[in-house]
Amino acid sequence: MDLARTEVSRAAARRRGNAARLGLMAVPVAFFAVFFAYPVTAIVARGLKADGTWHLGRIGDVLAQSDVRQVLWFTTWQAVVSTALTLLVALPGAYVFARFEFPGKQVLRAAVTVPFVLPTVVVGTAFMALVGRGGLLDDLWGVRLDTTVWAILLAHVFFNYAVVVRTVGGLWSQLDPRQEEAARMLGASRFAAWRTVTLPALAPAVAAAALMVFLFTFTSFGVVQILGGPAFSTLEVEIYRQTSEIFDLSTAAVLTMIQFVAVGAILALHAWTVRRRETALRLVDASVTARRPRGAGQWTLLGGVVATVAVLLLLPLGVLVQRSFGTAGLGYYRALAEDDGGVFLAAPIEAVGNSLRYAVAATVIAVLIGGLAAVALTRRDAGRLVRGFDALLMLPLGVSAVTVGFGFLIALDEPPLDLRASWILVPLAQALVGVPFVVRTMLPVLRAVDARLREAAAVLGASPWRAWREVDLPMVRRALLVAAGFAFAVSLGEFGATVFIARPENPTLPVAVARLLGRPGDLNYGQAMALSTILMIVCAVALLVLERLRTDRTGEF
C-alpha cells in the first residue's frame, strides 16, 4: 500500500513538473513572438503588401533577376566550399585534442576557440590587416587578396575552426579506443579500422558540425561585407544593401523569405543529427582516452596542428595587433579618445563603454529567457510541440540579423511598444543571438540531473520552483556562468542588427569599427585596427574565464 501511494505521488509530481515546464515556455515564446517573429513578419509584410493586398508575384519577379540568382549561387557555393575546407583543416585538430595529452593543451584549446567568439567585424578586420590594402602580404610581396573569394574562404575557416574541433573532438574523446584496437587485432589496417568503427560513430557529430559551419557561412555578413567588396555578396549582405542603400523593401523581403526557408531546412537537419548523436552511442570518460603522442608520425601530426593554429588562427590576430600600433606607437589608441566631429558624435573610445553596458543588459535577458527555455526542454521524451520550440530558439542564429534590426525600427515604433528611441533595443537584439548559446550550454547539464531527485523533492512537498532551486541549481551553477559568459561574448560582437538600431551618439564597438573602415585615410584605418584589438582582448578575457569554468559536461563549447 505504501509503495502504491509512493508511485501515485511520483506520478502526480511528474505531472506537476511537466505542467510547470510547459508554463515556463510561455515567457520565451512571448519574447520570441514580440521581438523576433513580429519584426521579421512586419518587414516582410511591408515589402510584399501594398494597399492591403499581398503581391506574391513579386517573389517570381525577384527570382527572375540575374543579379539575384548570382547572389543565391555565390551564397550557396561559398558556404559549401567554406564548410569543406573547414572540415579538411579542422578534423586533424579534433583528433589531436581528443586523443593526445601534451603540455600547453589547455592554452592551445583556448587559442583555438578565440576566433569563434570574436565578432565577425574583427575577423574581417584581422584578415584585412593580413591580406588587404597595406596588409602584411601587401608590404612583403605586393600581394592583396581582399575583394577576392580566397580572403572570404580563409576567414570563414578561421572563424569556424573551433566549431569542428569542439563538436567532433568532444565526441571523439569519449569514444572507446578499444573498439578500434579490437578491429586491428582481427586483421584490419589502421585506416580500415578507423573507417569501419570510428567514422560511423563520429558521423553524426561531423554532420552536426558541418551543418553549423554551413549555417554560419551561408548567413555570413560582417566577413563578406569587409572582405568581399562590391564584387561578392551573400544573401545577408544583399539584404543589407537592398534595405539600407537601395531602399527596395520588396526585394529584401523576398530574399529574407528565401534565407528563412533555407535556414529552417538546415536547422531541421541539424536537430535530426543531434538526436542521432544523443541516442546511438556508448561513451566513456574522456579523461582516460587521451595519452602522449607516440612515434614520429603522431608527433608530426601534433606539430602540423600546432603550425596550422599558429598560421591560420594566431597570425591574423598578431598582424591585427601589430597594425593597431603601426609606426605611430600608441597614436591610433590616443586618437580614439578624440571627437572628430564627423562620423562619430562622440569619441570612438566611448564605444567600449557602450558595448560593455549593452552586453551586460543583453546577458541578463539572454540568461533569463534561455534558462527558462532550457528548463522547459529538460525532458528528452518531450513531444513535437517542445521539439518545435527547441528549433524556434535556434532560428535567430540563421535568420537575417539585418532583417531583425530593420524590423525593430519598423515594428516597434508605436504604443504600447514604442521602443525605437530607447537604448533597450540594442540589448534586445543582442539577446536574441545569445539565447541559443545559453540553451545549448545549459541543456546537456540539466538533462544529466537525475529526474528522481526532483521527484523525491516533490514527494516531500517541495514546489516545482523550490525543487529546481534545491536540486538543479547547485548542479548547473557552473553551466549557468559559462552560458552567461558566452551570451556576453556574442552580445559584444553582434553587428547585423545593431548597425541599424545603435544610435549615432552611442555606437557599439563593431559598428564603430565598420564606420572607421568605411572612411578613407590611414588614421581611420589605424583606429579601426586599435578598436578591433580592444574588442578582441575583451572577448579573449571572457573566453579564458570560460575555460576555467568549463567542465566536460558543460555544452559543446
Q: What is the pLDDT of residues 23-38, one digit of tens each?
A: 677 888 889 989 998 8
Helices in 132-198 by DSSP H: which ranges? 136-141, 149-172, 177-185, 190-193
- Cα 555 to Cα 484: distance, rounded to the nearest angstrom: 13
Asked if residue 21 has pLDDT above 90, the reply is no
| Residue 367 CB neighbour total at 10 angstroms | 23
| Model confidence band, residue 380 (pLDDT cutoffs 50, 70, 90) | low
Percent of the chain at pLDDT exceeding 70? 78
Tell me the range of 52-61, 103-112, 127-136, 348-357 where mean pLDDT is highest: 348-357
- Cα 358 to Cα 351: distance, rounded to the nearest angstrom: 10
Q: What pLDDT is stored for residue 394 in this prediction?
A: 78
Residue for grid cell 521539439: 387
| Residue 481 CB neighbour total at 10 angstroms | 17
| Model confidence band, residue 15 (pLDDT cutoffs 50, 70, 90) | low
Residue for grid cell 532583417: 403
- Extract long-range pairs of 194-200: CB within 8 Å, 24+ residues apart: 198/172
- Cα 375 to Cα 468: distance, rounded to the nearest angstrom: 9
C-alpha cell belonging to residue 142? 605586393
Q: What pLDDT is stored for residue 42 in this prediction?
A: 83
Q: What is the DSSP letter of 399?
A: S
Q: What pLDDT is stored for residue 557 in this prediction?
A: 47
Phi and psi torsions of 100, nearest 5°: -110, 145
pTM for the complete prediction? 0.78
- Cα 217 to Cα 295: distance, rounded to the nearest angstrom: 37
Q: Which residues are 501's β-sheet partners?
A: none
Q: What pLDDT is stored for residue 4 in this prediction?
A: 53
- 61 or 32: whose pLDDT is higher? 32
Mean pLDDT over 213-228 rounds to: 86
- Cα 290 to Cα 305: distance, rounded to the nearest angstrom: 16
Q: Which of 160, 167, 161 is nearest to 219 (CA)?
A: 160
| Model confidence band, residue 75 (pLDDT cutoffs 50, 70, 90) | very high
Determine contact, residues 278/380, Cβ cutoff 8 Å. Answer: yes
Q: Which of 557, 100, 522 is nearest to 300 (CA)?
A: 100
Mean pLDDT of the chain: 78
Angle between helices 425-448 and 473-493 (to 10 degrees): 150
Asked if residue 3 has pLDDT above 60, the reply is no
Asked if residue 166 has pLDDT above 50, the reply is yes
- 286 or 461: whose pLDDT is higher? 461
Of 42-46, 53-57, 324-328, 454-458, minimum mean pLDDT range: 454-458
- Cα 118 to Cα 51: distance, rounded to the nearest angstrom: 44
Tell me the range of 248-252, 273-277, 304-308 where mean pLDDT is highest: 304-308
Determine contact, residues 320/540, Cβ cutoff 8 Å. Answer: no
Q: What is the DSSP letter of 506?
A: S
- Cα 83 to Cα 512: distance, rounded to the nearest angstrom: 30
- pLDDT tens digits, 120-154: 888 888 888 888 777 777 777 777 776 678 889 99
Mean pLDDT over 496-511 rounds to: 84
C-alpha cell belonging to residue 482? 559559462
Mean pLDDT over 64-69 rounds to: 86
Q: What pLDDT is stored for residue 341 in this prediction?
A: 53
Asked if residue 300 has pLDDT above 80, the reply is yes
Asked if residue 77 has pLDDT above 90, the reply is yes
Find the angle CA(455)-CA(460)-CA(462) to the nearest 5 degrees.
75
Q: What pLDDT is stored for residue 460 in this prediction?
A: 65
Asked if residue 552 has pLDDT above 70, the reply is no
Q: What pLDDT is stored for residue 76 in this prediction?
A: 92
Q: What is the DSSP letter of 293?
A: -
Q: What pLDDT is stored for residue 231 in this prediction?
A: 77
**Sign for the pseudo-dihedral over CA of 161, 166, 168, 173:** positive
| Model confidence band, residue 304 (pLDDT cutoffs 50, 70, 90) | very high
3-state SS assignment for residue 342: coil
Find the angle CA(126)-CA(131)-CA(137) to the nearest 5 degrees.
120
Mean pLDDT over 355-381 rounds to: 85
- 451 or 356: whose pLDDT is higher? 356
Helices in 311-383 by DSSP H: which ranges? 315-325, 331-335, 350-376
Our measurement of the distance from residue 150's CA atom to the centroid of its chain's CA atoms, rounded to an integer in Å, reads 22
Q: What pLDDT is stored for residue 243 in this prediction?
A: 82
Determine contact, residues 530/377, Cβ cutoff 8 Å. Answer: no
- pLDDT tens digits, 411-436: 887 777 778 778 888 999 999 988 88
C-alpha cell belonging to residue 14? 511528474
Residue for grid cell 579534433: 94
- Cα 511 to Cα 517: distance, rounded to the nearest angstrom: 10
- 82 or 163: whose pLDDT is higher? 82
Q: What pLDDT is stored for residue 276 in this prediction?
A: 57
| Model confidence band, residue 228 (pLDDT cutoffs 50, 70, 90) | confident
